[in-house]
Amino acid sequence: MRTRTERRERLVPHTVDGETLMVVEEYTVEVPVPPRDWDQIVLTGALAAVALFLAVVIVWSTTSIGDLLARAVSEPAIAYAAATGFSAGWIVCMAFEWLNRYDPVRIQRPRTAGHAFLAADMAAVCIHGWVVDSLKVGVLGAVLSGGAKWLWTIALDHQAAPLDARTQQWVSIKRGEVGSRLALGAVRRQLTRAESRAAAEEAALRTRPDPNPESPDDEPEIPEGAPALPSSGPMTIKDAVQTARSSGFTDPDAVLRYVQKVADANAKAETVNRYLRSA
């Protein structure tokens, strides 16, 4: 069994002049070396080869389709930028296939869309070969795109461990629960924003300026013949009502104006009328 030497550290007691402290001590230890994981090595190499093959196919497809589209536009940069969409479409779909590799239902839509994008890519490469009088080269380039997609599908199937029916249902239920929580959170945020806007609008409507504002100098008019203000201090609403009644005022509006002047400027008509009835 192969081993390797590793340097490690540990705390050991060390005493100087009768005082003991913990200090760091380095030491070496022989640890066994695990055998090479050839399965992982082969898988890593295969994935690297697929990625390299995919990059070559992208460059080939973009170059061919870009040259084809450049015949219809005056700016070649625009044509080559548009050409990247043919390869980007089925490559993005492959990414979604990877994300949904444990869900046989959700993986079908990106897989179908990926095949559609791949068919468009292969057709465009073949048309370019036909336009430049080299249909065989066009067909070969299209086969390369199909081969890259096929290799990716094989790698994906190898990585996606199949789930039994019950486990698949359990995963679907848990995914649905988490998805519901995320959806409810988004809905709550939307409702909160809507309620905030509604509250702000209602507050703005309640605080609109009065079309006929009263001037601060507009004070309630004291009925003619009302008694003078008391010199001992402010009166209560009840005392002001009684004073107005004793002075011969019977009109509730006149009594209210007098109370607002001598007792409480915010006195309500209901309060004054209640005192009038009880007087």
Whether pLDDT at 26 is above 90: yes
Given pLDDT bands bounded at 50, 70 and 90, which one contains residue 266?
Answer: confident
**The pLDDT of residue 250:** 72
Mean pLDDT, all residues of the chain: 82
Instruction: Answer whether residue 133 shows pLDDT above 90.
Output: no
The pTM of this model reads 0.54
Q: Using pLDDT thresholds of 50, 70 and 90, give the confidence band for residue 221.
A: low
58/110 Cα distance (integer angstroms): 19
Structure tokens given for 7: 């340097």
Return the higher-pLDDT residue of 198 and 209: 198
Q: State the maximum Cα–Cα separation within the chain, in Å, rounded to a whole number.
A: 120
pLDDT at 61 over 50: yes
Calculate mean pLDDT across residues 108-129: 91
Q: What is the 3-state secondary structure (H, E, C) of the chain?
A: CCEEEEEEEEEEEEEECCEEEEEEEEEEEEEECCCCCHHHHHHHHHHHHHHHHHHHHHHHHHHHHHHHHCCCCCCHHHHHHHHHHHHHHHHHHHHHHHHCCCCCCCCHHHHHHHHHHHHHHHHHHHHHHHHCCCHHHHHHHHHHHHHHHHHHHHHHHHHCCCCCHHHHHHHHHHHHHHHHHHHHHHHHHHHHHHHHHHHHHHHHHHCCCCCCCCCCCCCCCCCCCCCCCCCCCCCCHHHHHHHHHHCCCCCHHHHHHHHHHHCCCCCCHHHHHHHHHHC
239, β-bridge pairs: none
Q: Is the pLDDT of residue 45 over 80?
A: yes
Judged against a pLDDT cut of 80, whether residue 218 lies above it is answered with no
